[in-house]
Chains A and B, each alone.
Chain A
Amino acid sequence: MIKKLMSKLMDKFLTGIFKRKKKIRLGLYGPPNGGKTTLANKICEDWLGKGNAMGTVSAIEHETREVTVKEQIIVKSKDNKKEIEFTLADTPGIATRIDYEDFMKKGMKAKEAKKRAKEATKGVIDAIKWLDEMDCVIVVLDSTKDPYSQVNITIIGNLAARDIPVLVVANKIDMKKANVKKIENAFPQYSVVPISAKKGKNIEKFYESLFEVAD
């Protein structure tokens, strides 16, 4: 705790001297299939160029089963006056249940489904362990789904308990069933940015909000 505090103070001190850029460890957290990897890919392609995708996406849950890290992502403000250097961590979706039979229902063979389930459980444990390493977290929620799930509340509550700044993203607003208001009502103490990571909708607003939270 003291070590982390000292590190943060040192970072602030150095940033103050050089007026250059900050280095922030930014984590993407949320339940499975919220669109974390799609957003990570969008961020990487926007600031590192095409062909720098972070991971593969799939309609089957738990496609991301390891924490993936991309360093030196420099995001600039709209007026180009400020920039922040991020180390971006895309984490596996946090869940309380993982059933290999659910994967089999989506067409996987038993052996493959069991392997995926085993890797997914390890992924969730790793994602939780990594919480302590984050300076700032984007919680990516699927705006077509019920936001009052305990997983969402636990993730956000944990971040609050650790004093980590949070930006809530209401993803998939291009879908008909999207309900951003419901997410805003569920987490009134946080700023909620509606986006479509897949279509790039409202992504500028997302970067602006990211600056506000991380700066």
Chain B
Amino acid sequence: MNPYSKWLIKMIHVLTIEFIPYFEIERLDSSARIDRLLKVVKQNKIVLLEGRLKKTEESDLIAKTMSMIDEHFKGIELAVVDPDKAESRRFIERLRKEVVSLLLGDRQGFTIIGPANIVKEIKKDPNKIQLLTEEVREKFPHKKKQGSSKKKKRR
């Protein structure tokens, strides 16, 4: 196999995304939820979770990640996309959001968690989210001058 094919295979491999539907974590306690997510991330996969964790669970996720860091596992990149976050001045719009929030709770939006050795950065602004992968090309010098490996998601 030529080096370029090897590089391509690695590129495909490093961008494995595992979708976790909310019902899979719904009945788990906070600790088990975090363990479930980190187990996937430690397999070098990017987690796409339907919904979001509670705020305190997010900080527990960071703490648990820190306790796992070693020479091979460098941590995570995390982003929560919350459609409810956008402020609205219109009363009807606010009311609609309140009702949706009441009905769906933490099931709204989605969460992306990626291993830090694969996901370099998740850039977020109110309208879009960008997931930047690590420069795999560094390990493949022939491809160094080509554009960066960038995966862009828009919502």
Give the interface of A toward B (CB within 8 A). 94-100, 114, 117, 121-122, 124-125, 128-129, 131, 146, 148-151, 153-155, 157-158, 160-162, 188
Interface of chain A, main secondary structure = helix
For the complex with contacts A128-B60, A158-B56, 6 further pairs of A-B residues with Cβ separation under 8 Å are: A94-B62, A96-B65, A96-B77, A98-B69, A99-B116, A146-B123
Give the interface of B toward A (CB within 8 A). 54-56, 58-60, 62-63, 65-67, 69, 71, 74-80, 87, 116, 122-126
**Chain B positions within 8 Å of A94 at CB level:** 62
Bound Cα distance from A146 to B124, whole angstroms = 9
Bound Cα distance from A157 to B76, whole angstroms = 19
Query: Can you sample 14 A-B contacts with CB below 8 Å?
Result: A96-B75, A97-B74, A97-B76, A98-B69, A99-B74, A99-B116, A121-B67, A125-B66, A128-B62, A148-B123, A148-B126, A153-B80, A158-B59, A161-B55
**Chain B positions within 8 Å of A98 at CB level:** 66, 69, 74-75
Contact yes or no, B63 A150, CB < 8 A? no
Number of A-B contacts (CB under 8 A): 74
- The verdict on A157 contacting B58 (CB below 8 Å), with A96-B116, A149-B124 known, is yes
Bound Cα distance from A117 to B60, whole angstroms = 19
Bound Cα distance from A97 to B116, whole angstroms = 6
Interface of chain B, main secondary structure = mixed
Contact of A99 among B60, B63, B66, B75 (CB under 8 A): B75
Chain A residue with the shortest CB-CB distance to B64: A125
Bound Cα distance from A139 to B74, whole angstroms = 25
Bound Cα distance from A162 to B59, whole angstroms = 12
Bound Cα distance from A155 to B60, whole angstroms = 11
Contact of B55 among A99, A158, A188 (CB under 8 A): A158
Contact yes or no, B63 A124, CB < 8 A? yes
Chain B residue with the shortest CB-CB distance to A131: B59
**Chain B positions within 8 Å of A161 at CB level:** 54-56
Contact of B67 among A97, A114, A125, A158 (CB under 8 A): A125
**Chain A positions within 8 Å of B55 at CB level:** 154, 157-158, 160-161
**Chain A positions within 8 Å of B77 at CB level:** 96-97
